[in-house]
Chains A and B, each alone.
Chain A
Amino acid sequence: MELTDRVYVAKARSGDADAYRVLVERHSRSLFRLAYRMTLNEQDAEDVVQESFLRAYRWLGRFDERASFGTWLYRIAANCALDLVRARRRRGEDLAAGGEDAEDPVTALPSGAPSPEREALSSEVRERVAEAMQELSPAERTAFVLRHFEGMCIEEVSRVLDCKPGAAKHSVFRAVQKLRRALEPLTGAAR
């Protein structure tokens, strides 16, 4: 945990809202990236970010100051996103279900200036990646996003998921295996 985070957390716990503002401003973008990759939906990701900071604020008193605030926040955000993904699945609203109102996974992908990687992906490939991600269970998706996109080590992933490192590792394994099954035909064809 950065010293500055520690200082701001202490101030926020003593009632300094401006200190909490600093924490929000500092962690918003990384939290949004995590939330987006978990939910695959921009508006859902915005909701997750907001809800995560509200929950974190309410629970500041429970935060162990020796721990990393960023990891703690990620755990809250991952759980918010998990709640949302699970709720959608229960209601059959997951994007993969392809309901009429479901956002098209392809059009839900970020817009803006294309990066070389983005350009390299045909719309079909992007669609398949989004679909494959949605085939992952919520826990697999979380573990994979944290390990693959956020670059967390298995230990950190396990702390966010509040599980043993072995369980986190197996979630990552299962996620990668599912992604391979779904995407290998595409990458093989592209070889």
Chain B
Amino acid sequence: MNHLSEEQLILHYYGEGAGEALPVEVHLEDCASCRAAYAALQRVLNVVDGLEAPVRGAEYGAQVWERVAAQIPGRRRLLWLPIQGWAPLRWAAVSAVMAGLLVAAFFAGRFYPQPRRAAPMAAADPKAGERILLVAVGDYLERSQMILVELENANAKEPLDISSEQERAADLVGESRLYRQTAERTGDTRVAGVLDDLDRVLLEIAHAPSHLSPEDLDKLRQRLQAEGILFKIRVLGSNVRSLGEEGAGKRL
């Protein structure tokens, strides 16, 4: 057999030489010159391996989605498609629930032991109060979403300590109830339904064992995915943010 060509050596390095692997191996055993050439090739390609890409964490995909989603034309319409049943009423529903939230914030300010700051402002200036409420609801949805995303992206192969998520979920449960009850009072049953789902999920997380086995985590994820809760709160959050931005824009 003649000496191996550079192309043969490259193909051999990458395991591409179909049917030639054995003859090449045999030749390399016997031929010091080709063996040296192959070793030189290996050294070069091993050095190239050092060109590592920066590591991106588990949350990277969600960050990319945030950027991509913001630029998808007609995203808002698309995001509503899976719940088209209430699409014709969506703006009315969202507006109504926001108005309801305003009322709730007002009463919360009067009756709750630790009044929310938004309430007096809402009473003094309804538009300003509405914006603050939108921010509060958006913040609440975002914090809920973060908990769910963390659980969805957690390493499913090891037992998971979710005590931090539980603590935050417990904090959010009270808020969730307030918003849900307001939506129920204003007749926004579908919005109330989303908030009800979220309330139950947060409660479940808050009362789960603080260490989840991979199986428990998988069951929880399956349930979250089956209910599409993450998607629903993203939709609601997206619209709340849009309303907030529109409101702020008008003021300016």
Q: In the bound complex, do residue B61 and residue A28 qualify as a contact, i.e. CB atoms below 8 Å apart?
A: yes
Give every chain B residue within 8 A of A147 (Cβ-Cβ).
Answer: 14
Q: Is residue B175 contacting chain A, with contact meaning CB distance below 8 A? A: no
Residues of B within 8 A of A (CB): 6-7, 10-11, 14, 16, 40-41, 43-45, 47-56, 60-62, 64-65, 67-69, 71-72, 75, 78-79, 81-82, 228, 230-231, 234
- Smallest CB gap from B5: residue in A: A173
Among B6, B10, B64, contact of A25 (Cβ-Cβ < 8 Å):
B64
Looking at the assembled complex, report how far the CB atom of A167 sits from the nearest CB atom of chain B, in whole angstroms. 14
Q: Which A residues fall within an 8 A CB radius of B?
A: 15-18, 21, 24-29, 32-33, 36-37, 42, 45, 49-50, 53-54, 57, 109-112, 115, 117-118, 120-121, 125-126, 129-130, 132-133, 147-149, 153-154, 169, 172-173, 176-177, 179-180, 183-184, 186-188, 190-191
Sorted nearest first, the 10 A-B pairs with minimum C-beta distance are: A25-B61, A110-B54, A18-B231, A187-B43, A28-B61, A36-B53, A33-B53, A121-B50, A15-B81, A28-B64
Cβ–Cβ < 8 Å partners of A112 in chain B: 54-55
Q: How far is the CB of A25 from chain B (nearest CB, A)?
A: 3
* Highest count of chain B CB atoms <10 Å: which of A17, A187, A190: A17
**CB contact under 8 A between A184 and B52, given known A24-B68, A57-B68:** no
Query: Does the CB pair B47–A133 fall under 8 Å?
Result: no
User: In the bound complex, what is the Cα–Cα distance between A126 and B49 (angstroms)?
Assistant: 10
Min C-beta distance of A57 to chain B, whole Å? 6
A130-B52 Cα distance, complex, nearest whole Å: 11
Cα of A65 to Cα of B231 in the assembled complex, Å = 24
Instruction: Evaluate contact between B44 and A17: CB separation under 8 angstroms.
Output: no
CA distance A18 to B78 in the complex (A): 9
A172 to B41, CA, bound (A): 13
Q: A15-B78, A17-B78 are in contact. Are A180 and B53 (CB under 8 A)?
A: no
Q: Are B82's CB and A16's CB within 8 A?
A: yes
A17 touches B79 (CB 8 A): yes
Q: Collect the chain A residues with CB atoms within 8 Å of residue B65's CB.
A: 21, 24-25, 28
Specify which chain A residues have a CB less than 8 angstroms from the CB of B40 in the assembled complex.
180, 184, 187-188
Kindly report which residue of chain B lies nearest to residue A177, judged by CB atoms: B6
Chain B residues within 8 Å of A115, by CB: 52
Structural contact, A180 and B68, CB atoms closer than 8 A: no
CB pair A57 B7 closer than 8 Å = no
Given A18-B82, A173-B7, A180 and B56 contact (CB-CB distance below 8 Å)? no
The answer to whether B54 touches A42, judged by C-beta atoms less than 8 angstroms apart, is yes
| Cβ B231 vs Cβ A117 within 8 A | no
Q: How far is the CB of B17 from chain A (nearest CB, A)?
A: 11
Question: Are A172 and B10 touching (Cβ within 8 A)?
Answer: yes
Distance A191 CA – B71 CA, assembled complex (angstroms): 51
The CA of A186 and the CA of B45, in the complex, are separated in Å by 12
> For the complex, what is the distance from the CA of A16 to the CA of B234, rounded to whole Å?
13
List 8 contacting pairs A-B, 8 Å CB cutoff, sorted by A.
A24-B61, A28-B60, A50-B68, A117-B52, A121-B47, A173-B7, A179-B44, A183-B48
CA distance A176 to B16 in the complex (A): 14
